A and B are shown apart, each in its own frame.
Chain A
């Protein structure tokens, strides 16, 4: 059974710093991995989708990497801003039953002004 873990569960960093969020998964049989952010009480906003054949995807200040063989993905946020404060979730789409995204446990990020 696929398990997706995000460590740490919570992270606080001063504004302006670069930071990395981690996502680990146990089964490498995936189509892709998607990163989301969620503000309190709100829906999920898609940030980046990275296919299993890709190593990186970039959007603005965000860069996601994927190492399928080691079961790891990272989300790099450059020059952090208070507006980046949110919970970040990664989710993998499995090869089998691909309609069922498996979500990570999330990292709650706080950017300190």
Chain B
């Protein structure tokens, strides 16, 4: 099973709302990622968790708050977003402990901020 799942598939929120994106994998992977992708552009890395600890934050605004409650689950909490934050948010995972392993992506959450 090489599946990364993400919920919800689509999310529409106002600029004052608080919402969360969820990502799950049951492959025993210990590295998990959040990416943001705008139309016709490659994914941009936002956060990396390695063994449930935040290892990389790519200077993402604080209105995005990641959380890794356990080794299978990754959340992205959203608050006071801007319309320019509308994008496809992708979660990915990889077997931790070294650089040689394949990275797998989820289907994404399409976020629209009104």
Chain A residues packing against B (C-beta within 8 Å): 31-32, 34, 36, 41-46, 49, 51, 89, 91, 93, 95, 97-101, 103-106
Q: A89-B42, A99-B50 are in contact. Are A42 and B108 (CB under 8 A)?
A: yes
Which residue from chain A places its CB closest to the CB of B4 in the assembled complex?
Answer: A43
A51: chain B residues within 8 A (beta carbon): 100
> B30: shortest Cβ distance to chain A, in Å?
12
A104-B6 Cα distance, complex, nearest whole Å: 24
Contact of A44 among B31, B56, B90, B101 (CB under 8 A): B90
**Nearest 5 CB-CB pairings of A with B:** A103-B42, A98-B99, A44-B105, A31-B99, A43-B107
A105: chain B residues within 8 A (beta carbon): 42
* Most chain B CB neighbours (cut-off 10 Å) among A41, A43, A99, A105: A43
Whether B105 pairs with A36 at a CB distance below 8 angstroms is yes
Whether B56 pairs with A100 at a CB distance below 8 angstroms is yes
B20 CB within 8 Å of chain A: no
Give how many B residues have a beta carbon under 8 Å from the other chain's beta carbons. 27
A100-B106 Cα distance, complex, nearest whole Å: 17
B103 CB within 8 Å of chain A: yes
Contact of A46 among B6, B48, B104 (CB under 8 A): B104
Whether B103 pairs with A34 at a CB distance below 8 angstroms is yes
Whether B56 pairs with A99 at a CB distance below 8 angstroms is yes
Which residue from chain B places its CB closest to the CB of A42 in the assembled complex?
Answer: B107
B99: chain A residues within 8 A (beta carbon): 31-32, 93, 95, 98
A44-B48 Cα distance, complex, nearest whole Å: 17
B1 CB within 8 Å of chain A: no
B81 CB within 8 Å of chain A: no
